[in-house]
Amino acid sequence: MKEKGITLRDIEGIGPATEAKLKEAGYLTVESLAFASAKEIEEATGLSYEKALEITENARKLLGIGFMTAEEFYKKRQDVGYISTGSKALDSLLGGGIETQAITELIGEFGTGKTQLCHQLAVNVQLPKDKGGLGANAIYIDTEGTFRPERIIQIAKHLNLDPNETLKRIYYTRAYNSDHQILIVEELLEKMPKFNARLLIVDSIVSHFRSEYPGRENLVVRQQRLNKHIHDMHRISNLYNAAVVVTNQIVASPDVFFGNPNKPVGGNIVAHGCTYRLMLRKGRENQRIIKIFDSPIHPESETVFTIYEGGIRDVEG
Ligand SMILES: Nc1ncnc2c1ncn2[C@@H]1O[C@H](COP(=O)(O)OP(=O)(O)O)[C@@H](O)[C@H]1O
Ligand SMILES: [Mg+2]
């Protein structure tokens, strides 16, 4: 990518003091500033809004992210691929399925089906395009130890796929701590082509960060690291036209970091970093209600799907 070798100091208007403030707030790369809003930078750093605006504009200039015509942008969007979720209702809510060139965040309390959806997508991405896949492999980063090959086999069977072939096309790794998790994604920046993968799953993105950086005193470091991690994932999604799917927990008890009950973990860094945010909650029996919110192109709306032996599907009847 372009910014290799480019530092914050190459941005017009950033001296040592401003650089220090930005870094402390988690803005480590030119790219992170180019994609941030002035308001967000103002809040995170204490710099004036005008200064923050100048910085974002100059960062974009430096990266050559200036104008493209809407037609050029539209052409880039034509390359976006969609992975079916297994539920037509959910696919249509998403405008076709889980998108490439984007990060989709699945948010919900324990047992709401986040991991089930991840399993389903790891299989569905392998399907040919006319069956709702991308004819490609999946990478599964598991931080909680909840991935189950047995589940993949069940899902594959219901799709009349060879279970063993399906398993072979999912590259699985456990991430044992946040350093390890960050490193795995960093390495993927270069190694992604070896896997022929168009889907990267991180289930869950925040659990290690949460347990390793408790308390307000660790907030800045945690934010910085999460920010970098998410930017790496964006680069992967754009470089390789891949879909990135991450899960995030809702903590029902007050969150020690932000004091907000029933809010997704990870604060603004994760909220702003993800392209699409989906909130899951339990419905009747095996039904799950899923809502898309904060989307740049979707109206806020929700639908229902079912978890069954074969994975994810529409509610019957
Ligand atoms: N084989 C299966 N058949 C039907 N439902 C299942 C099956 N396996 C898991 N589930 C459902 O999935 C739920 C767990 O979802 P999961 O994705 O693990 O939640 P989380 O959001 O915590 O990741 C269980 O409560 C169960 O209802
Ligand atoms: Mg889970």
Tokens 């006319």 locate to 130
Q: Is the peptide bond before 295 cis (omega within 30 degrees of 0)?
A: no
Identify the bridge partners of residue 305 per DSSP, sorted by sequence position: 288, 314
**Cα 300 to Cα 139, 296, 297, distances in angstroms:** 29, 10, 9
Relative to the CA of 286, which ligand 1 atom is closest? 27
Relative to the CA of 280, which ligand 1 atom is closest? 21
Using the mean position of ligand 1's atoms as its centre, give its distance from the Cα of residue 45 in Å: 41
Average pLDDT of the residues of the chain: 90
Residues 115, 127: Cα–Cα separation, whole Å = 19
pLDDT tens column, 178-217:
999 999 999 998 899 999 999 999 999 999 998 898 877 8
CB 61 within 8 A of CB 34: no
Q: For atom 4 of ligand 1, which residue has the closest CA? A: 308
| Ligand 1 contact via 45 beta carbon (within 6 Å) | no
Q: Which ligand is nearest to the CA of 307?
A: 1
Asked whether this chain's domains 8-63 and 73-314 adopt the same fold, the reply is: no
Structure-model confidence comparison of residues 235 and 290, the more confident one = 290
Q: Which two tokens stand for residue 187?
A: 């390495």
Tell which one of 147, 307, 316 to mutate to probe ligand 1, the residue whose CB is within 8 A of the most ligand atoms.
307
Using the mean position of ligand 2's atoms as its centre, give its distance from the Cα of residue 113 in Å: 7
Positive or negative CA dihedral for 107, 112, 117, 118? positive
pLDDT band at 5 (very low <50, low <70, confident <90, very high): low
pLDDT of residue 263: 65
* DSSP line for 158-198: HTT--HHHHHHTEEEEE--SHHHHHHHHHHHHHHHHHHTEE
Identify the bridge partners of residue 289 per DSSP, sorted by sequence position: 281, 304
Q: For atom 15 of ligand 1, which residue has the closest CA? A: 113
Using the mean position of ligand 2's atoms as its centre, give its distance from the Cα of residue 191 in Å: 26
Give residue limits of the domains in the chain: 8-63, 73-314
Residues 143, 148: Cα–Cα separation, whole Å = 13
| Ligand 1 contact via 306 beta carbon (within 6 Å) | no
| pTM attached to this predicted model | 0.81
Residues 295, 308: Cα–Cα separation, whole Å = 28
Residues 187, 197: Cα–Cα separation, whole Å = 14
CATH superfamily to which 73-314 belongs: P-loop containing nucleotide triphosphate hydrolases (3.40.50.300)
Q: For atom 11 of ligand 1, which residue has the closest CA? A: 307
pLDDT of residue 3: 38
Which fold does the domain 8-63 belong to in CATH? DNA polymerase; domain 1 (1.10.150)
Using the mean position of ligand 1's atoms as its centre, give its distance from the Cα of residue 113 in Å: 5
Using the mean position of ligand 2's atoms as its centre, give its distance from the Cα of residue 108 in Å: 9
Using the mean position of ligand 1's atoms as its centre, give its distance from the Cα of residue 187 in Å: 31
Lowest mean pLDDT among 2-11, 106-115, 285-294: 2-11
